Amino acid sequence: MQELNPKQIAQRLDQLTELSVALGAGGNVDALLERILMVAKDMTAADGGTLYRPSDDGRRLCFHISVNDSLGIRQGGASGAAINLPSVALYDEQGRQNLASVAAYAANRRQSVNIEDVYQADEFNFSGMRSFDQFYHYHSQSFLTVPMNDHEGELVGVLQLINAKDPDSGAIRAFSSTDQRFIEALAAQAGVAITNQRLIAQLEELLESLVNLINIGIDEKSPYTGRHCQFVPELTMMLAEAVHATDSGPLAAFRMSDADRKELWLAGLLHDCGKITTPVHVVDKATKLETIFDRIHMVDTRFEVLLRDAEIAALKRQLAPGADRAAIAAALACEQAALRAERDFVRMANVGGEGMAAADQERVRAIALRRWVGPDGAERDFLSEDEVHNLSIKFGTLTELERKEINNHITVSIRMLEALPWPKHLKNVPEYAGGHHERMDGKGYPRGLTKEQMSVPARLMAIADIFEALTARDRPYKKGKQLSESLRILGNFALNGHIDPYLFDIFIRSKIYLEFAHKNMDPRQIDAVDEAKIPGYTQQQGADPA
């Protein structure tokens, strides 16, 4: 058995070093595995090689890559060609280790097997190999089978080399003890590298699962925000890809790697994670008087009491001697009509809207001054101070304090995200997620950042967040707006310094709004859009949208 000279050993050490560097750099696992096999084959001048991976249940060895120079076989790995070889059982039907197959033996015993001539060896069952030789008119001779283990001794694969060749004559030779030691060293490094890749993938999967867990918690707490947590990252990535593809204008230099995409996607998923701390009665406040329940029903009951009391009082007056019953009945009808009109007004005021007129706010305060007798027999104002405060809300259904509670979710989100030990390739997640309520003119919250202080991903997430909120049809306090109205509002935001006008230009020009609408909006919301009439947008390519 020919041993290597110092020059050949130095050459192999160089190969091993280069492979170590490549394994340390990470990358696609299939590509790494193929490189491991090819370096091992080249290092030992083997004619062929196979790399097995354990099955998910750990009971079989599956062919992952198979190459043979003489036969021109290259299956699995980066080639993409299917492997038509059967897997190898690691255990028999009784659960005993399979020690008859050389690959299974190496896997089960965690030992290398070096066979000089398989046709002269009777320790293992080589019937499969003989069938292979007969079918391909090949002659297998020397075998070197080495298990690949991780740092805990768990099997991650088996490396098998076939028919080492003499570098001078080309004759088949046995694998030397030096060959075996080098391949064992390579297998050890490969096992750790593969395990690292697998652990990284598992950690990333765990991280995304935890993110989804947070969103499930928000969704279960408030089903009205569940779609928002799904759609904002989707719309964010659609716009980000459109900006990535832009080759002109101020954003032409923006480009994303796959790592950048993953970072932005995670930020999108987490952009509202702070809402998990927001009281549900605030998040889901559909009407002005809603807390745990809508208090309008309590107000309705008071109106019923007033209607009843007016009727009782009228009936008593009608029983008096000489009473003008007709006049009393007419007066009762007028009084009750006025009460019902006030009840209808309060019901309408409770719904909330785009803007409550000052006269309507004054009418609420006037109704509040009516007197009524409660169940305890005490007379009091018809509406409490808190009820007047809520019914007089000018925009929407939230009081100023409740709006601050809602707005606080972004501060909580930032605090939560900045408290996490993000790896280097995800370090921008807090900044991206935390900027979607900032404005280009510095009037946003929570930090009052300007356009120059914000990254492109944070600025484009703000557009995604606003557009989804405008078109959302699952909010308890409003209906989803028509597509044209949503774009009109968004366009005005581009003009008044709320959002980035250049990103808005790409949003319209690339038809992101239309793609998202057809995929996720109610068809009844998708009306005709005349882009020429969208504020802040010009159809002339390259024109300044601002």
Express each pLDDT in 204-246 by its tens digit. 888 888 888 887 777 777 666 657 788 999 999 999 999 999 9
pLDDT for 213: 83
Distance CA(262)–CA(432), nearest Å, equals: 12
Mean pLDDT of 447-468: 95
For the residues 511-533, what does the mean pLDDT come to?
A: 93
Q: How confident is the model at residue 540 (pLDDT cuts 50, 70, 90)?
A: low
- Mean pLDDT of the region 48-77: 91
Looking at residue 473, its pLDDT comes to: 77
Q: Residue 206: what pLDDT?
A: 87
Domains of the chain as residue ranges with CATH:
6-200 (3.30.450.40), 222-278+407-533 (1.10.3210.10), 296-397 (no CATH)
Give the best-scoring range by mean pLDDT among 142-146, 268-272, 424-428: 142-146
Residue 1 predicted with pLDDT over 70: no
Q: What are phi and psi of 74, to 5 degrees?
A: -150, 100
- Mean per-residue pLDDT, 104-113: 94
Residue 491: what pLDDT? 95
- Whether pLDDT at 255 is above 80: yes
Q: List, for residues 396-428, the tens digit of each pLDDT value.
A: 888 888 888 888 888 999 999 999 899 888 999
Q: Which residue has the tokens 């600025």?
A: 459
Lowest mean pLDDT among 74-83, 525-534, 537-546: 537-546
* Cβ contacts of 357-363, under 8 Å, gap ≥ 24: 361/392, 361/394
Statement: residue 123 has pLDDT above 90: no
Q: What percent of the chain has a predicted confidence (pLDDT) above 90?
A: 55
Query: What digits encode the pLDDT tens for the residues 354-382?
Result: 789 999 999 999 999 999 998 888 999 99
3-state secondary structure 27-79: CCHHHHHHHHHHHHHHHHCEEEEEEEEECCCCCEEEEEEEEECCCCEEEEHHH
pTM of the model: 0.68
Q: What DSSP state is assigned to residue 123?
A: S
How far is residue 305's CA from residue 97's CA, in Å, rounded to a whole number?
84
Of 531, 400, 512, 521, the C-alpha closest to 470 is 521
CA–centroid distance for 279 within its chain: 24
The residue-averaged pLDDT of 101-111 equals 94
Q: Which of 539, 519, 529, 525 is nearest to 235 (CA)?
A: 519
Lowest mean pLDDT among 15-24, 111-120, 163-172, 326-335: 15-24
In this predicted structure, what is the pLDDT of residue 311? 94
Q: Give residue 307's pLDDT band: very low, low, confident or very high (50, 70, 90).
A: very high
Please say if the pLDDT value at position 168 is more than 60.
Answer: yes
Asked if residue 338 lies in contact with residue 357, where contact means CB atoms within 8 angstroms, the answer is: no
Q: Percent of the chain having pLDDT more than 70?
A: 91
- pLDDT computed for residue 98 by the predictor: 92
Average pLDDT (328-354) is: 92
Q: Is the pLDDT of residue 97 over 80?
A: yes
The contacts of residue 77 (CB under 8 Å, 6+ apart) are 30, 31, 33, 34, 37, 51, 64, 65
Task: Give the Cα separation of 159 and 232 in Å (integer).
Answer: 46
pLDDT band at 6 (very low <50, low <70, confident <90, very high): low
476 pLDDT exceeds 80? no
The two most distant CA atoms of the chain are separated, in Å, by 137
Region 194-200: mean pLDDT is 79
The lowest-confidence range among 76-90, 111-125, 261-275 is 76-90
